[in-house]
Amino acid sequence: MATQAFEGIVEDFEFLDDWETRYAHVIDLGKAMPPLEDALKVPATKVEGCASQVWLMPEIDGATFHFRGDSDALIVRGIIAVLVALYDGVPVDEVPKIDARSELGRLSLEEHLSAQRSNGLKAMIQRINKLAVEAA
C-alpha cells in the first residue's frame, strides 16, 4: 500500500551498505525538503511527544491527503521526508489503513533510532492519522 515515492526510498536503502550511509541518506532527504514557513510553525501544527521541535501541516486537496512538515533537527527532518513519501498523495480515507510500522520496518529505521526519536516518530504517525480522520 506504499506510494511510489516511498518504494523509491526502499529501493535506495537496498543499495546502501550500512546504517551510517542510510542515516546520511535520511538526512539528505530532509535537507532536500522545502522548509515550512515560520508562520506555520505554531502550536496548532506542533507535534507533542517529540524530543525535537516538529510541525506537520496538512493540506487536503479534495479527498487526497498531502502534508508538509519541518523540524529543528536534521535527522527528524529526514524522517518527516520519509513520512511525506509514505503518506503524501494517498486518499484521505486510506491514510489510517497504512501500516506505517510495517512499511518503515522495511527500512529498519526504528531499530536504529533512540527511544526518544522512536517515540517522536510514533507521535508523528498518530498525528498524521488524526489529521486524516478529521479531514475524512
Active-site positions read: 50
Residue 50 · residue 122 · CB < 8 Å:
no
Classify residue 58 by burial, with Cβ atoms within 10 Å: 0-12, 13-18, 19+. Answer: buried
Q: Are 3 and 100 in contact (CB under 8 A)?
A: no
Alpha helices in 16-114 (DSSP H): 19-32, 74-87, 100-105
The answer to whether 34 and 69 are in contact (CB under 8 A) is no
